[in-house]
Amino acid sequence: MNAPLLVAEGLVKEYGNSRVVSDVSLSIARGEILGLVGESGSGKSTVARMVLRLIEPTQGAVHFDGVDVLKAGRSEMKMLRRRMGVVFQDPFAALDPRMCVRDILAEPFAIHGEEALQGKSMEEMLTAMLREVGLDASALDRYPHAFSGGQRQRINIARALALRPEFLVLDEPVSALDVSVGAQVINLLRSLQQTRGLTCLFISHSMPLVRYLCDRVAVMRRGELVEVGDAVSICEHPREAYTQALIAATPEFVGL
Ligand SMILES: Nc1ncnc2c1ncn2[C@@H]1O[C@H](COP(=O)(O)OP(=O)(O)OP(=O)(O)O)[C@@H](O)[C@H]1O
Q: The domain spanning residue 200 has which CATH number? A: 3.40.50.300
Q: Which domain holds residue 209?
A: 4-99+165-249
Task: Provide the residue type at 200 as one letter.
Answer: C
Task: Provide the residue type at 108 as one letter.
Answer: P
Would residue 157 count as lying in a domain?
no
* Any atom of ligand 1 within 6 Å of the Cβ of 46: yes
Tally of residues, the chain: 256
Would residue 47 count as lying in a domain?
yes
Would residue 19 count as lying in a domain?
yes
Q: What angle do CA 68, 70, 73 make, to 5 degrees?
A: 85
Give the pLDDT confidence score for residue 76 in this predicted structure: 95
pTM: 0.94
Q: How far is ligand 1, taken at its centre, from the CA of residue 89, in Å?
A: 14
Sheet holding 199-204: strands in order across?
Answer: 84-87, 167-171, 199-204, 33-37, 216-221, 224-230
* Domain total in the chain: 1
Ranges of H-type helices in the chain? 44-51, 74-83, 101-112, 122-132, 149-160, 179-196, 207-213, 231-236, 241-249
Would residue 80 count as lying in a domain?
yes
Give the pLDDT confidence score for residue 99 in this predicted structure: 96
Would residue 13 count as lying in a domain?
yes
DSSP 47: H
Q: Which atom of ligand 1 is nearest to the CA of 43?
A: 18
The pLDDT averaged over each successive group of 10 residues in the chain (256 residues) is 88 97 97 96 97 97 97 95 92 88 94 84 95 96 95 96 96 91 95 96 94 96 97 94 91 75
Give the pLDDT confidence score for residue 2 in this predicted structure: 65
* Any atom of ligand 1 within 6 Å of the Cβ of 13: no
Q: What angle do CA 235, 172, 109 make, to 5 degrees?
A: 135
* Any atom of ligand 1 within 6 Å of the Cβ of 42: yes
- Pocket probe mutation, ligand 1, options 20, 55, 58, max atoms within 8 Å of Cβ: 20
Q: Write the residue with the smallest CA distance to atom 28 of ligand 1.
A: 41
Would residue 143 count as lying in a domain?
no
Task: Provide the residue type at 61 as one letter.
Answer: A
* Any atom of ligand 1 within 6 Å of the Cβ of 41: yes
255, 210 Cβ separation under 8 angstroms = no
- This complex has an ipTM of 0.96
Would residue 226 count as lying in a domain?
yes
